[in-house]
Structure 1
Amino acid sequence: MGKGLVDELKKEFEIEDEWLPMEIHPGTPQEGVLLEEKFPGFDREAMYANLRRSGAPYGIDFGTMKVLSNSRKALEAGEFAREHGKFDEYHELIFHAYFTETRDIGEVELLVELAQKAGLDADELRAALEDGRYLPRLESTLDLAHHYGITGTPTFVINNKYALVGAQPLDRMRAALRQIAAEEQAE
């Protein structure tokens, strides 16, 4: 949803985007956790109805997840893909696997499968995940998130001083970008 939204906004605004790895629930066990256990009393159906409404304009079909995956390895694999020039391809595949197919992105074999589909070397990815070479990038992004007070994704940081949190409708993002541009011109 975020990528499709940004791509649409790029048709109207000069945007240079950089997608950063953000682990929202770093305490999630490696095997994941049932959403009902992690968030007792939360209304999963209402949340997914909202996500489906938000994703529809971008052709995104959200499945109904039951498990919150541990995303650390998936984010590390994303950094591997970025380093090898395949971030966009990998990002689309991992997003679809998790949010549409509701697969467990904490499973290394799934990450390897998706990386191969994106044109990446499976053995190199396995080695990178085993040695944790991308963990410092995740920690750096977490520090940056704390700096901006970010607690959710997607979060759009604009000109290093404005933060828009959550999946926003296209019209709201357009209005925010116009307002930011006007404020910056007035300075």
Structure 2
Amino acid sequence: MLDIKIFSDFACPFCFIVTGIFDKLKEDGVEFAIEWIPYEMHPDIPLEGKSVEGKHPKGYAEKMYEMLNKLGTEYGIKYKMQEKDYNTHRALLAGEYAKSVGKYDEFSKKIFKAYFTDLKNIGNKDILDDIAKKAGLNIEEMNNLINAGKYEANLKRAKNLIGKFEVEGTPTFIINDQHKMVGVRPYEQMKRSFLAYS
């Protein structure tokens, strides 16, 4: 059995593809236990979002989205060109709540889709609540616990793990607490890499 920690942010387009990779690994009978570790890539982004204009060299974004859509096709994932980056802090806290009630998979897929396909501001509480509700979460309980600071300790623990494993970006996989793998590759290559450590 593989023990996999995946450092991820809902603003990481490649992390969306990882959800499809893990689904396919399950279908292929690969046994693994997975823990998604929140990695807040841009805590400084305001709640209304921040324009991506000038973020990348000319033509870079088009090439990146072409590659993302090529990789995502296998998993039914589609990307649209973004005009803004959004703050993910509250969404990551909501993800911790979703874990506590056994609905993280549903929630994460919906939040990734909202961010990368529907281009929604997941930093906006009303939008986040709507996504959480569609994922079957009790939004009143979720918001009460988030507002009470219940999951901030989870993000602090995540920061400690980021330091411990020297994680510098997303997605980063830590396999059996020993082997580090960074980034996403075609499925068969990812599968071979995981199985090499089992």
Q: TM-score, normalised by structure 1?
A: 0.88
1:28 aligned residue: 45
Kindly indicate whether residue 123 of structure 2 is the aligned counterpart of residue 118 of structure 1. no
3-state secondary structure, aligned to 2:32: coil
Question: 2:184·2:190 contact (CA, 8 Å) conserved in 1?
Answer: no
Q: Which has the larger radius of gyration?
A: 1
Q: Name the CA distance, whole Å, in 1 between partners of 2:104 and 2:18.
A: 14
1:84 is aligned to: 101
Aligned counterpart, 1:185: none
Higher RCO (Cα < 8 Å, 6 or more apart): 2
Compute the displacement of 1:138 (Å).
Answer: 1.2
Higher helix share: 1
Deviant stretches of 4+, over 6 Å: none
How is 1:18-167 mapped onto 2 (pairs within 5 angstroms)?
18-36=35-53, 39-41=55-57, 43-167=60-184
CA distance in 1, matches of 2:44, 2:90: 13
* Unmatched segments (≥5 aa) in structure 1: 182-187
Q: Deviations over 1:84-143 (max 9, x none)?
A: 222111111111101111111111111111111122222222222322321111121122
The TM-score, its normalising length taken from structure 2, stands at 0.83
Farther-moved stretch of structure 1 (148-157 vs 95-104): 148-157
Q: Does 1:175 align with 2:184?
A: no
Moved more, 66-75 or 79-88: 79-88
Distance (Å, rounded) in 2 between the aligned partners of 1:65 and 1:19: 24
- Give the number of equivalent residue pairs: 180
Q: Distance in 1 between matches of 2:56 and 2:117?
A: 23
Q: Quick one: percent identity of the two aligned structures? A: 36
> Is the counterpart of residue 15 in structure 1 residue 32 in structure 2?
yes
Per the TM alignment, residue 41 of structure 1 is displaced from its structure 2 partner at its CA by 2.9
- The separation in 2 between residues aligned to 1:35 and 1:128, in whole angstroms, is 32
